[in-house]
């Protein structure tokens, strides 16, 4: 039996794909050939999927031979061990590789957070993060003053921005979502109260929606700067 490298990539014979010249190779030899081929192809997902597919095809072929009575003594002796090995398709093998990579990833925060409870820690953002938050918040406030039709969109973007800001600073998603919705609601309530307390002169260019949105956007901006 010769277990060479995976050089015959164009061959459709799963035994040749694994570098096996002997169809009566033992189960241990088949597994060893599969492991060796996986080491040779490295992290190439397509090549690894081909190796796994060839390995599955070999096991299926040997299973069919056993069912039809065409088995050698060596193959029959490994029957129970092969049946205990789950057979996966090449697609499943690729999916398993993807899941393994995803499991190796961990959520991370670009800025450390000292709180994992619902109550946040108030800490001013620093460096580039502070500049980005200030620039986006100022742009949002200017747009709400200039464009009467963009109020709802800007409020939505501000809420999403606060949510993302908290996630990047280490807050849990559910807690971040709760604080984003809470600050938006408080801001809109303050805006509604402001409308009731003041009377708008006819020459004022701002409409009630804009005035109601300004406290909400300010509160969302403060949240992005301080909530951690």
pLDDT tens for 1-20 read: 444 445 445 557 888 888 87
Instruction: Indicate whether 32 belongs to any domain.
Output: yes
Residue 37 sits in which domain range?
14-104
- Provide mean pLDDT across the span 178-195: 92
- For residues 161 and 218, state if they share a domain: yes
Residues 32-40: contacts with CB under 8 Å, at least 24 apart:
32/3, 33/3, 36/3, 37/5, 37/6, 40/5, 40/6
pLDDT tens for 121-174 read: 888 988 888 999 999 999 999 998 888 788 999 999 999 999 999 988 888 899
- Provide mean pLDDT across the span 188-202: 80
Query: Which tokens is 3 given?
Result: 């277990």
Query: How many structural domains comprise the chain?
Result: 2
Instruction: Indicate whether 5 belongs to any domain.
Output: no
CA distances from 61 to 95, 126, 157, 162, 187 (A): 23, 62, 57, 57, 68
- For residues 24 and 98, state if they share a domain: yes
CA distances from 88 to 43, 57, 113, 164 (A): 19, 9, 42, 39
Q: Identify the three-state secondary structure at position 134.
A: helix
16 or 219: which leads in pLDDT: 219
Instruction: Indicate whether 1 belongs to any domain.
Output: no
Q: Grade residue 111 by pLDDT with cuts at 50, 70 and 90.
A: very low
Instruction: Indicate whether 23 belongs to any domain.
Output: yes
């Amino acid at each position: 039996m010769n277990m060479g490298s995976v050089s015959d990539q164009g061959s459709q014979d799963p035994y040749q794909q694994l570098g096996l010249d002997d169809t009566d190779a033992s189960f241990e030899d088949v597994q060893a050939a599969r492991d060796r081929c996986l080491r040779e192809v490295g992290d190439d997902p397509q090549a690894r999927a081909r190796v796994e597919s060839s390995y599955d095809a070999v096991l299926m072929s040997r299973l069919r031979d056993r069912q039809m009575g065409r088995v050698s003594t060596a193959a029959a002796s490994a029957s129970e061990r092969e049946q205990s090995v789950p057979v996966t398709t090449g697609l499943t093998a690729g999916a398993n590789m993807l899941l393994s990579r995803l499991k190796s990833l961990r959520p991370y925060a670009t800025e450390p957070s000292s709180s994992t409870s619902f109550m946040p820690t108030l800490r001013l953002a620093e460096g580039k993060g502070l500049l980005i938050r200030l620039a986006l918040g100022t742009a949002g406030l200017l747009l709400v003053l200039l464009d009467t039709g963009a109020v709802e969109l800007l409020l939505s973007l501000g809420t999403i921005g606060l949510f993302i800001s908290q996630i990047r600073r280490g807050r849990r998603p559910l807690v971040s979502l709760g604080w984003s919705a809470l600050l938006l609601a408080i801001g809109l309530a303050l805006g509604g109260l402001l409308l009731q307390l003041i009377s708008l002169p006819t020459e004022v260019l701002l409409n009630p929606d804009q005035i109601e949105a300004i406290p909400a956007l300010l509160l969302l901006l403060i949240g992005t700067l301080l909530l951690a």
